[in-house]
């Protein structure tokens, strides 16, 4: 068990806008499960894509069984006995399980004997307790079963190093339990597993060792038996130098947003928000903390009317209709979604049009629908460019050419500058921004709070929540598990709640 | 050496887009030349035949305009949908349904009407409604069931084509058709005003007017603004409070109505009777025209006219050089390919790197 099969030293990978891996060291011993823990964007997938030959590291060494190797492609990686199950499977939907397993094999000859492959699949599935039907077509089986096919593919070629990228994200708890059993069986047979996750509980359950990544750096490496959720949560979220901003005292008055027993489904049809109730008052910031993937996306989309729900949402005492965005816009609800590129900006349209995307839905604007010349928006857009210090060569520049910070400023200008919102739903408003832009976003939100807007802040970064909010609710597995104070002395308590431990 | 594609940092200029389109046409012409050469003819003479009649003589010019009309209608029909990135290739079926409805109205529903001022607008409405319905079906299926509109519009084309075949071979076969599969002729009051003897008729002017209407619609209205937003990013459309589902249906219905009006105009303005295969695939050529015009309604007029000239010229080729007129189909195909290829060059730089 002490033999090191994989060793990474000082891996650096830079992308144009960020350093995804900053001198990362990592090693994997024979027969162990080594978990790679970190928030989304911490650099876990990048690191593993380097091991699997999809990316090339800018510097650093990869050693396999003590020998330095150059992994230039996934094919090379497979030759070295490395197998990876990506979050998006690489299966052919119209082929059956046997055919999919056979696809990657080299020594089958021109006319492959699929019955041999099928026999082996059955043997493997018995040995590792993986239930699959070798004759089922991929499109007919569930995501969990498809994952098992991917595992069989790895076992078939006798991969010694298996990388599983967020394998439980698509599984039900029962399926996850089955996966863990398979993993234990695999390690017993000498394989080593790298388990990528941001969920503390499952990492503690399945792994032997845990390495925590944050902002591309290794924060620490611990033995699972010597740590607990509390310590891991702290490592994951971490302390870092943040800009201190002036937080005006809360003058919370009338209730603006009231959510009662909200149930929301995710894209897979599973319940992601399970009966959430809360309220946000005027002049108050309610921060919703939580590890990503606990229902934040579904919650925010439901509140803004982009996703259906059960339960009631009222804005200033008026019940708004599920799945109706117009209803929100009419009631002065502003929305800053987590993925600005995908959800809030038309990349192919010029900045000045992006600033007026809501020209016909916002109650504060009047345009003639039968004679509307978009070019006339150029001059009014200049005011926003100035007020929100959006740096762009011209208002005609297409939004996709803007930097992340300037994109966010366009969104803020449109959502907040155009009208005075009564409620602002902001999701990860500073993700991927540099310090300057981050400060700008904070100040805009705090100005709005002082003006009397109710703000619902959904964020992963605890210090962002501490800096901005007046109350903190923690979302765990689609439920508000508890409330706390936005204060560093409550960090441990919040961290525990994020991990699902109730007060 | 390796080839690498790098995304361009800026939007391609209008001039570059124009040059790319021109180059695509030239490439297609060169390929066409090889085909003509392989038939044992001189490509240059053939090119001359292809354009000299349709552009160089008054009757030829009128003929070109007459051929332009159905192309222009159907191109405008697909253009609106393309603006929203809905791949409506159902213009052919919508066109045929428009022709069917016009014939139904002219010969069977209102055969006693004699006032053209009332009759013709009524037939136009019928043609538009039928085309709109043929767009509505795939629109609803796309919006509410997620059915790919490429497949549904394509398949509905065949339904429409065979429906027209059935009627003309069967129940609607005209009494004086000598057993040919054609319907009776439209009554005079159902026929567009004709100017002169060359076939110049009101429909041509309506089609050009329609291009300006579409220009107004996509450039200067709320509808057009929302079309641009939803076409760029459907989710942002939703985010901005646009009812995206309604929009999808509306866009397909409007496109269908315009193509359907084209079918009606072809009946009332040019053919005066329904017959099988009355369209040499106008609705498919429309896809190429809309692309070549880069979805600009005014450019669509010019490109449709160019294709009208080609269509007329191809008949000249057949007549005088015994070159099959279906050569134009080959030309269209090559042109679409080179247009698609030019898209890559417009948005990416090609770099040679030493590996």
The alpha-helical segments, DSSP class H, found in A32-136 are: 44-51, 74-79, 97-103, 114-127
pLDDT of residue A240: 45
Chain A residues with CB-CB distance to B222 below 8 A: 359-360, 367, 369-370, 372
Beta-bridge partners for A456: A286, A425
Q: How far is CA A266 from CA A228, A294, A428, A499, B172, in A?
A: 30, 11, 19, 21, 54
Residue ranges of chain B with pLDDT lower than 70?
1-2, 4, 6-7, 9-10, 353-355
Whether residue B238 and residue A344 make contact (CB cut-off 8 A), yes or no, is: no
Q: How far apart are CA A18 and CA A46, in angstroms?
A: 12
pLDDT of residue B354: 63
* Of the partner residues A357, A369, A374, the one whose CB lies closest to the CB of residue B240: A357
Given the structure tokens 């339990």, which residue do they identify? A177
How distant is the Cα of A348 from the closest Cα of chain B, in angstroms? Answer: 6
Among the listed residues A319, A315, A290, the one whose alpha carbon sits nearest the alpha carbon of residue A453:
A315
C-beta separation of A461 from A338 below 8 A: no
pLDDT of residue A242: 46
Mutate to test the interface with A, among B146, B237, B241, B295 (most CBs of A within 10 A): B241
pLDDT of residue B138: 97
Nearest-Cα residue of chain A relative to residue B9: A401
Nearest-Cα residue of chain A relative to residue B232: A346
Chain B residues with CB-CB distance to A342 below 8 A: 233, 235
Chain B residues with CB-CB distance to A370 below 8 A: 221-222
How distant is the Cα of A361 from the closest Cα of chain B, in angstroms? Answer: 6
Residues in Cβ contact with A131 at an 8 Å cutoff, skipping those fewer than 6 apart: A125, A148, A178
How distant is the Cα of B263 from the closest Cα of chain A, in angstroms? Answer: 28
pLDDT of residue A207: 94
The gap from C-alpha A289 to its chain's centroid, in whole angstroms, comes to 14
Whether residue B229 and residue A357 make contact (CB cut-off 8 A), yes or no, is: yes
Nearest-Cα residue of chain A relative to residue B222: A369
Chain A residues with CB-CB distance to B221 below 8 A: 369-372
The gap from C-alpha A268 to its chain's centroid, in whole angstroms, comes to 16
Given the structure tokens 């439209």, which residue do they identify? B186
How many alpha carbons lie under 13 Å from residue B216 in its C-beta half-sphere?
Answer: 9
Q: Between A and B, how many residue pairs show a Cβ–Cβ distance under 8 A?
A: 73
Whether residue A367 and residue B222 make contact (CB cut-off 8 A), yes or no, is: yes
Q: Which parts of A102-225 are beta strand (E)?
A: 161-165, 192-197, 209-214, 217-223
Among the listed residues B61, B113, B225, B237, the one whose alpha carbon sits nearest the alpha carbon of residue A377:
B225
Q: How far apart are CA B206 and CA B312, in angstroms?
A: 21
Chain B residues with CB-CB distance to A338 below 8 A: none
* Fold for the domain defined by B42-322: ABC transporter involved in vitamin B12 uptake, BtuC (1.10.3470)
C-beta separation of A319 from A358 below 8 A: no
Chain A residues with CB-CB distance to B235 below 8 A: 306, 342-343
Among the listed residues A162, A145, A200, A158, the one whose alpha carbon sits nearest the alpha carbon of residue A48:
A162
Nearest-Cα residue of chain B relative to residue A301: B239
Whether residue A401 and residue B9 make contact (CB cut-off 8 A), yes or no, is: yes
A232: left (phi over 0), alpha (psi -120 to 50) or beta: alpha
Residues in Cβ contact with A327 at an 8 Å cutoff, skipping those fewer than 6 apart: A305, A320, A321
Whether residue A346 and residue B223 make contact (CB cut-off 8 A), yes or no, is: no
Cβ-in-10-Å burial (0-12, 13-18, 19+) of A316 comes to middle
Whether residue A374 and residue B225 make contact (CB cut-off 8 A), yes or no, is: yes
What 3-state DSSP class applies to B23? helix
Whether residue B229 and residue A349 make contact (CB cut-off 8 A), yes or no, is: yes
Cβ-in-10-Å burial (0-12, 13-18, 19+) of A107 comes to exposed
Whether residue B11 and residue A398 make contact (CB cut-off 8 A), yes or no, is: yes
The gap from C-alpha A189 to its chain's centroid, in whole angstroms, comes to 33
pLDDT of residue B9: 65
CA angle in degrees (0–180, nearest 5) for B265-B268-B274: 100
Residue ranges of chain A with pLDDT lower than 50?
240-242
pLDDT of residue A432: 65
Sign of CA dihedral A255, A260, A266, A271: positive
Chain B residues with CB-CB distance to A306 below 8 A: 235, 238-239
What 3-state DSSP class applies to A261? strand
C-beta separation of A490 from A503 below 8 A: no
The gap from C-alpha B208 to its chain's centroid, in whole angstroms, comes to 13
C-beta separation of A320 from A304 below 8 A: no
Q: How far apart are CA A311 and CA A319, in angstroms?
A: 10
What 3-state DSSP class applies to B281? coil
Whether residue A370 and residue B11 make contact (CB cut-off 8 A), yes or no, is: no
Neighbours of A385 (CB within 10 A): 20
What 3-state DSSP class applies to A88? coil
Q: How far apart are CA B280 and CA B275, in angstroms?
A: 12
The alpha-helical segments, DSSP class H, found in chain B are: 14-38, 43-56, 58-83, 91-103, 116-145, 149-169, 202-220, 222-232, 234-239, 244-266, 282-292, 297-321, 327-347
Q: How far apart are CA B301 and CA B69, in angstroms?
A: 9
Residues in Cβ contact with A92 at an 8 Å cutoff, skipping those fewer than 6 apart: A99, A100, A103, A138
Q: How far apart are CA B51 and CA B54, in angstroms?
A: 5
Among the listed residues B53, B49, B69, the one whose alpha carbon sits nearest the alpha carbon of residue B61:
B53
Mutate to test the interface with B, among A73, A322, A345, A360 (most CBs of B within 10 A): A360
Neighbours of A67 (CB within 10 A): 9
C-beta separation of A271 from A265 below 8 A: yes
Whether residue A344 and residue B239 make contact (CB cut-off 8 A), yes or no, is: yes
How distant is the Cα of A375 from the closest Cα of chain B, in angstroms? Answer: 10
- Rg from Cα positions in chain B: 21
Whether residue A343 and residue B235 make contact (CB cut-off 8 A), yes or no, is: yes
What's the maximum distance between 2 C-alpha atoms anywhere in chain A? Answer: 76
What 3-state DSSP class applies to A91? coil
pTM score, two decimals?
0.76
The kind and range of the H/E element at B115 are none
Please measure the distance between the N-terminal and C-terminal CA atoms of chain A and give it in whole angstroms. Answer: 39
Interface of B with A (CB under 8 A): 9-11, 219-226, 228-229, 232-233, 235-236, 238-243
């Amino acid at each position: 068990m002490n033999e090191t099969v994989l060793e990474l030293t000082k891996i650096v990978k830079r992308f144009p806008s960020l350093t995804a891996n900053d001198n990362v060291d990592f090693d994997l011993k024979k027969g162990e499960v080594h978990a790679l823990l970190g928030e989304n964007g911490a650099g876990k997938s990048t690191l593993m894509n380097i091991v699997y030959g999809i990316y090339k590291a800018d510097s650093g060494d990869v050693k396999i069984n003590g020998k330095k190797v150059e992994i230039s492609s996934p094919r090379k990686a497979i030759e070295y006995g490395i197998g990876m199950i990506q979050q998006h499977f690489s299966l052919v939907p119209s082929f059956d399980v046997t055919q999919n397993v056979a696809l990657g094999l080299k020594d089958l000859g021109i006319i492959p004997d699929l019955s041999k492959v099928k026999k082996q699949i059955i043997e493997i599935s018995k040995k590792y307790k993986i239930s699959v039907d070798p004759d089922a077509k991929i499109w007919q089986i569930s995501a969990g079963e498809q994952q098992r096919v991917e595992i069989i593919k790895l076992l078939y070629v006798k991969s010694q190093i298996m990388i599983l990228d967020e394998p439980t994200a698509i599984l039900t708890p029962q399926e996850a339990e089955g996966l863990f059993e398979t993993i234990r069986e695999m390690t017993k047979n000498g394989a080593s597993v790298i388990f990528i996750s941001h969920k503390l509980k499952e990492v503690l359950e399945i792994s032997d060792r845990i390495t925590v990544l944050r902002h591309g750096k290794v924060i620490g490496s611990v033995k699972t038996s010597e740590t607990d959720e509390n310590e891991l949560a702290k490592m994951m979220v971490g302390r870092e130098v943040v800009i201190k901003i002036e937080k005006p005292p809360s003058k919370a008055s009338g209730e603006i947003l009231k959510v009662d027993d909200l149930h929301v489904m995710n894209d897979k049809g599973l319940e992601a928000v399970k009966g959430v109730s809360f309220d946000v008052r005027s002049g108050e910031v309610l921060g919703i903390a939580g590890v990503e993937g606990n229902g934040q996306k579904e919650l925010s989309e439901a509140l803004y009317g982009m996703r259906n729900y059960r339960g009631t949402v009222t804005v200033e005492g008026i019940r708004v209709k599920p799945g109706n965005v117009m209803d929100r816009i009419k009631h002065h609800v502003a929305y800053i979604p987590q993925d600005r590129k995908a959800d809030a900006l038309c990349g192919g349209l010029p900045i000045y049009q992006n600033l007026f995307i809501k020209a016909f839905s916002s109650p504060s604007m009047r345009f003639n629908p039968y004679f509307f010349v978009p070019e006339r928006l150029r001059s009014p857009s200049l005011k926003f460019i100035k007020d929100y210090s959006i740096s762009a060569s011209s208002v005609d520049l297409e939004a996709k050419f803007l930097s992340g910070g300037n994109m966010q400023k366009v969104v803020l200008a449109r959502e907040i500058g155009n009208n005075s919102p009564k409620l602002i739903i902001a999701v990860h408003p500073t993700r991927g921004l540099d310090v300057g832009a981050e400060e700008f976003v904070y100040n805009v939100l705090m100005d709005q709070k002082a003006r009397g807007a109710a703000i619902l802040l959904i964020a992963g970064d605890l210090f962002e929540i501490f800096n901005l909010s007046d109350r903190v609710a923690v979302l765990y597995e689609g439920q508000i598990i508890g409330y706390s104070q936005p204060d560093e002395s409550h960090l441990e308590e919040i961290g525990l709640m994020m991990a699902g431990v109730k007060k | 050496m390796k080839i690498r594609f790098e995304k361009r940092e800026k939007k391609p200029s209008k001039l570059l887009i124009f040059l790319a389109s021109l180059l695509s046409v030239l490439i297609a012409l060169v390929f066409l030349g090889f085909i003509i050469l392989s038939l044992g003819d001189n490509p240059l003479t053939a090119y001359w035949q292809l354009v000299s009649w349709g552009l160089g003589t008054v009757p030829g010019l009128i003929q070109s305009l007459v051929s332009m009309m159905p192309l222009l209608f159907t191109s405008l029909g697909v253009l609106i949908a393309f603006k929203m990135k809905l791949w409506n290739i159902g213009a052919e079926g919508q066109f045929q349904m428009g022709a069917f409805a016009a014939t139904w109205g002219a010969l069977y529903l209102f055969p006693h009407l004699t006032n053209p001022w009332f009759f013709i607008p009524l037939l136009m409405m019928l043609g538009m409604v039928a085309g709109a319905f043929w767009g509505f079906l795939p629109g609803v299926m796309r919006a509410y069931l997620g059915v790919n509109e490429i497949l549904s519009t394509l398949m509905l084309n065949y339904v429409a084509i065979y429906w027209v075949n059935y009627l003309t071979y069967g129940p609607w076969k005209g009494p004086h058709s000598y057993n040919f599969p054609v319907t009776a002729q439209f009554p005079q009051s159902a026929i567009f005003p004709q100017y002169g003897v060359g076939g110049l008729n009101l429909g041509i002017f309506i089609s050009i007017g329609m291009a300006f209407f579409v220009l107004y619609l996509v450039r200067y209205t709320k509808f057009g603004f929302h079309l641009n937003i939803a076409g760029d990013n459907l989710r942002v459309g939703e985010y901005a409070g646009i009812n995206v589902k309604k929009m999808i249906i509306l866009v397909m219905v409007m496109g269908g109505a315009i193509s359907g009006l084209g079918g009606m105009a072809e009946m009332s303005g040019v053919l005066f009777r329904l017959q099988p295969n009355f369209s040499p695939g106008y609705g498919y050529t429309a896809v190429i025209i809309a692309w070549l015009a880069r979805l600009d309604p005014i450019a669509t007029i010019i490109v449709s006219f160019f294709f009208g000239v080609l269509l007329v010229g191809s008949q000249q080729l057949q007549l005088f050089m015994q070159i099959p007129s279906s050569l134009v189909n080959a030309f269209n195909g090559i042109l679409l390919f080179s247009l698609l290829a030019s898209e890559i060059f417009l948005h990416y730089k090609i770099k040679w790197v030493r590996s």
